Structure 1
Amino acid sequence: MAIYHFSMKPIARSGGRSAVASAAYRAAERLTNERDGLTHDFSNRQGVEHAEIVLPAGSSAYWAMKRSTLWNAAERAEKRSDARIAREFEIALPHELSAEQRLALTRAFAADLANRYGAAVDFAIHRPGGGGDIRNSHAHLMMTTREVTEHGLGDKTLLERENRWLLANHLPPSQLQLKDLRQAWEHLANRHLAMAGHDIRIDHRSHLEAGITIAPTEHVGVHATQINRQGGEVSRIRIDRQSADRNADTIRRRPDEILKLITNEKSVFSRYDIARALHRSINDDPQTFQNAFAAVMASKALVELKPDSSGVRGRDGEARYSTVEMVAI
């Protein structure tokens, strides 16, 4: 199923980073940082599906459409040794979408960021590596920390302002802005999934916020895949034993919890979807799994849908299910 992943981090000099180097790596280009004279050549890097710069609607800052010019301007605009030069957003792209659909979705989110903050957004879509998880299509979006104008970079964006200043001006602090961005990405991704004909959703909420007491699993993301390919040790355990045992007990007593977890992502599902959700939430003991599966299949919240001309049953004849709540909706 589509995975929700949305993270934001600064690209700051205090961490020894430069926006020029970061942009070169993400777009697989050769760029020179005019500030220190260092050239960063990643032109032979594989796996970059598409790279593009997006400006606010109606902007005439055409100078910013050149990657080297944009990020060298960002470097020049900041004088402090600990300055934040860019903001980076990393998002997981639904693997159910085609390459063209993933591009349209990423471009739409980049435009939302650019319009929201009056900034330039440089995005790159990366496909999964040869030995990686096929679901790890993702995008990096680098946003300027200053508003982009016709003649250069201007004032700091609202995301870079101090919370004290924001609150004094009756504006949301950075944490509320981030929460709003996470919701915006969820709504946009779900709209694009629906337009592509997929009955699946992503949910930005934590299990606790969604009213689910099952302990969540850790997403083994792109960084873990890279470490593993380079020979490093990466734990592939989905969930620790104590949490898995607690989950099994929760599912035995309240099997509708796992159904709530599934219907947060899709409204119609199969026995395979139930099995997969259980596999992610409990340990690998066969008897524990069978007991949990039987409890879910016997849940009063589960509804087997009648096959009809719309193809409720799959092509393989497998039954499709939903829940009492979803059918009511």
Structure 2
Amino acid sequence: TENGFGPKKVAVIGKDGKVLRDKAGKIVYRLWSGEREEFLGQRNGWLDLQNQHLALAGLEMRIDGRSYAERGIDLVPTTHIGVATKAIDRKGEKAGWSPRLERIELFEERRAENRKRIMRKPAIVLDLVSSEKSVFSERDIAKVLHRYVDDAGAFRNLMVRILESPKLLRIERESVDFATGERMPARYTTRALIRLEAGMARRAIWLSGKTSHGVREKVL
């Protein structure tokens, strides 16, 4: 609409073209985005489109719409804190009072829980980083870790433990680009990703030798 997406809920229209009402005579509403299955279908289509254009742009990053649990990442999901919510919180701090917004409290509780989990098992950070990028640098690891850990001492300690993790594999040492003089950071991946990509390569080689399920030259 002219004012954005419009209302979150819309009236349900019956087969007769009229607004559907319940037994009490009240109008039946549904979310404008549809039911859960419809919403997930729309979201997944949007994610696929974004990832397609990321690939076309030559970028390694991908957007994954699955939850932490679905990806096997032992973290609890955090809530989104918008700009307006942060502004209210900062204003309260400056004025010497706390707005105690429920969303911020929930965010901090979950962030603290994730911090505890990372302290117990730092390699969780690698699970999260590698779900976003197949090849990454120390800076990428630090950016993800900083989402949950602010204390400088704890941050340094965890970075050391993560970089010493047996799950991590350095595939390229730090170097200097002789053409530009630019410092190129060391590049890392995980052993799990190496195994996954090796398996994909083996299957691709196997498929290349098959004559069934081919693609017509016209299609290519």
Task: Pick the TM interval, shorter chain.
Answer: 0.5 to 0.7
Count of residue pairs the alignment pairs up: 165
Could you tell me which residue of structure 2 aligns to residue 291 of structure 1?
157
Deviations 1:21-40 (A, max 9, x none): x15xx8xxxxxxxxxxxxxx
> Aligned in 2, Cα 1:228/1:251: closer, same or farther, shift over 3 Å?
closer
Q: Is the 8 A contact 1:269 1:320 kept in 2?
A: yes
Paired residue type of 1:320: R
- Contact 1:270-1:320 within 8 A present in 2 as well: yes
**Residue number in structure 2 paired with 1:212:** 73
Structure 2 equivalent of residue 280 of structure 1:
147
The alpha carbon displacement at 1:84 in A equals 2.3
**What is the CA distance between 1:227 and its match in structure 2?**
7.7
Give the unaligned 5+ runs of structure 1. Answer: 1-18, 27-70, 72-82, 86-144, 147-154, 164-172
Any conservation in 1 of the 2:51–2:63 contact (CA below 8 Å)? yes
Higher normalized contact order (CA 8 Å, seq sep 6+, divided by chain length): 1
Separation (CA, whole Å) in 1 of partners of 2:144 and 2:106: 12
2:154 is the counterpart of 1:228: no
Query: For residue 84 of structure 1, what is the amino acid of its counterpart?
Result: V
Gaps of 5+ in 2: 19-27, 93-98, 198-220
2:173/2:185 contact within 8 Å kept:
no
Residue 133 (structure 2) aligned to one of 258, 266, 272:
266
Q: Which residue identity is paired with 1:174? A: E
Match of residue 38 from structure 2: 177
Amino acid at match of 2:40: K
Question: Post-superposition shift, 1:245?
Answer: 4.4
Aligned 8 A contact 2:54 2:61 in 1: yes
> Residue 201 of structure 1 aligns with which residue?
62
**Partner Cα separation in structure 1 for residue 79 and residue 182 of structure 2:** 32
- CA–CA separation in structure 1 for the residues paired with 2:156 and 2:107: 18
For each residue in 1:106-154, what CA deviation from the matched residue of structure 2 results, as whole angstroms up to 9, or x when unmatched?
xxxxxxxxxxxxxxxxxxxxxxxxxxxxxxxxxxxxxxx99xxxxxxxx
- The structure with more strand, counted as a fraction of residues: 1
- Taking a change above 3 Å as real, the CA distance of residues 237 and 192 of structure 1, as seen in their structure-2 partners, is farther
Name the TM-score, length of structure 1 as normaliser: 0.42
Given that residues 216 and 281 in structure 1 are in contact (C-alpha distance below 8 angstroms), is that contact kept between their aligned partners in structure 2? no
Partner in structure 2 of residue 36 of structure 1? none
Task: Identify which of 248, 258, 261 aligns with 2:115.
Answer: 248
Deviation digits for residues 271-291 of structure 1 (CA, Å, limit 9, x no counterpart): 111111001023x11222122
**Secondary structure in structure 1 of the residue aligned to 2:132:** coil
CA deviations 1:201-258 (Å, max 9, x no partner) are: 111112122211123344444xx259839x9669889942x54444334224433311
Amino acid at match of 2:66: R
CA distance in 1, matches of 2:187, 2:151: 26
Q: Distance in 2 between matches of 1:271 and 1:237?
A: 30
Alignment RMSD: 3.9
Whether 2:164 is the aligned partner of 1:303: answer no
Q: How does 1:6-85 map to 2 (within 5 A)?
A: 19-20=1-2, 22-23=3-4, 84=10
The residue type equivalent to 1:306 in the other structure is E
Change (3 A) 1:238 1:324: farther
Q: How far, CA to CA, are the matches of 2:188 and 2:46 in structure 1?
A: 28
CA distance in 1, matches of 2:105, 2:59: 29
Identity of aligned residues (%): 31
**Contact 2:78 2:111 (C-alpha < 8 Å) held by counterparts:** no
**Amino acid corresponding to residue 194 of structure 2 in structure 1:** V
User: Is the Cα contact below 8 Å between 2:78 and 2:110 reproduced in 1?
Assistant: no
Partner of 2:48: 187
Deviations 1:49-71 (A, max 9, x none): xxxxxxxxxxxxxxxxxxxxxx9
Higher helix share: 2
Whichever of the two has the greater Rg, that structure is 2
CA distance in 1, matches of 2:152, 2:85: 31
